[in-house]
Amino acid sequence: MSKSLVSDYFSCISDTLPYLKSYFGKVFVIKYGGSVMSNPSVKLQFIRDLCFLYFCGINIILVHGGGPSISKWLSRLNIQTKFKSGVRVTDTQTMEIVEMVLVGKINKELVLSFNLEGVPSIGLSGKDAGLITARPSSNEEDNLVGLVDNVDIRLLNLLLANKYVPVISPIASGNNNKTYNINADTVAGAISSSLKADKLILLTDAPGVMRNLGDSSTLIKELDINYANQLKKDSIISGGMIPKVDCCISALECGVKSTHIIDGNKKHALLHEILTDDRMGSMITL
């Protein structure tokens, strides 16, 4: 590397100092969607970016999804994958596979990745220490899609105080002792709300909120709740982006300082979003 490139490299690092100073000791809840886990090199870069933030003194909680992996394993076991209104239909048979893949496979792979980078992490589901209490999302028989009823933050505070990174699968049990599959965005939003986190960041496979769907040049980089609600009324925010935006709005109303929706398929998207003024995604604030 030439001297000029080295100089530019360290200048870039130096430019992040004001952001890192303001983030030191703060809590970031980050949702890592299953749709952005397929590229191994991007996945590794994402893990290392999180480790960088950890070593800069930021308290990180990672909530992960795993939809594509679940679908793959259901196919291997000749179990039909069904969706209703964009949500996976989770009956008792499907729930067994969902829990196996999310808690037993994806969660532990992520934990191992952190540990190999020298970041102590703990793999959890909502069942551990009663972290999350779930309730059914409908009265349909054998419907194990859940909603968050309560978050007990005591374990999370204990882990963060001792410099661990909690890695959380969106699986929880209800007061009826049934196991529920909960949308990972919903879990991340509920945890960030309960902790009154400084940031909620949703990594997905879309650039963020766009005025024209499919045209990334129309990305709206900053918007407040009022503008977001107006875009929903105008059907500019539509489809799968609606629950993500609603998750952000709910978190903000519960005391989260800022929320972000970014494309996790882009290398260093997370660092670019929070350590520069030139955002790669959409930041929603009060």
pLDDT by residue, tens only, the chain of 286 residues:
677 677 777 888 899 999 999 999 999 999 999 889 988 889 999 999 999 999 999 999 999 999 999 999 999 999 988 877 667 789 999 999 999 999 999 999 999 999 999 999 999 999 999 999 999 998 888 889 999 999 999 999 999 999 999 999 999 999 889 999 999 999 999 999 999 999 999 999 999 999 998 788 999 999 999 999 999 999 999 988 999 999 999 999 999 999 999 999 998 999 999 999 889 999 999 9
Residue 209's pLDDT is what? Answer: 97
Residue 86's pLDDT is what? Answer: 67
Residue matched to tokens 């419907």? 143
What amino acid occupies position 80? Q
Break the chain down into helix, strand, coil percent, rounded to 5.
45, 25, 30
**Homologous superfamily assigned to 23-285:** Acetylglutamate kinase-like (3.40.1160.10)
Smallest CA-to-CA distance from 90 within 51, 139, 145, 37 is with 145
Residue 5's pLDDT is what? Answer: 74
Query: Would you say 39 is a known binding-site residue?
Result: no
Query: Would you say 67 is a known binding-site residue?
Result: yes
Q: Tell me if residue 177 falls in helix, strand or coil.
A: coil
Interatomic CA distance for residues 233 and 151, integer angstroms? 31
Q: Which residues make beta-bridge pairs with 260? A: 201, 283
Interatomic CA distance for residues 111 and 169, integer angstroms? 11
Write down the domain spans for the chain.
Answer: 23-285
- The set of residues, in sequence order, having a beta carbon less than 8 Å from that of 143 and lying 6+ positions away, is 89, 90, 91, 136, 137
Residue 284's pLDDT is what? Answer: 98
Q: Which two tokens stand for residue 101?
A: 């893949």
Interatomic CA distance for residues 204 and 197, integer angstroms? 20
Residue 1's pLDDT is what? Answer: 61
Q: Tell me if residue 224 falls in helix, strand or coil.
A: strand
